[in-house]
Amino acid sequence: MHKDLERILVSKQELEKRIAELARDINNDYRGKEPIFLGVLKGSVIFLSDLVRSVDLDCTMDFIGLSSYGNASATSGSVRITKDIEKDVEQRDIIIVEDILDSGYTMSYLVDYLKSKAPSSIRICVLLDKPARRKTEVHADYFGFEVPDDFVVGYGLDYAERYRNLPYIGVLKPEIYNDKKEVDVN
Active site residues: 102
Say if residues 10 and 168 touch (Cβ distance below 8 Å): yes
Instruction: Round to whole Å and give the CA distance between 150 and 166.
Output: 17
For residue 155, give every residue at least 6 positions away whose Cβ sits within 8 Å of its Cβ, in sequence order, or none.
Answer: 10, 15, 46, 47, 99, 127, 164, 166, 167, 168, 169
Report residue 149: phi and psi, to 5°.
-80, 65
| Cβ neighbours for 16, distance < 8 A, ≥ 6 positions apart | 50
Q: DSSP assignment of 87-103, as one string?
A: S--TT-EEEEEEEEESS
Closest CA to 11 of 148, 167, 153: 167
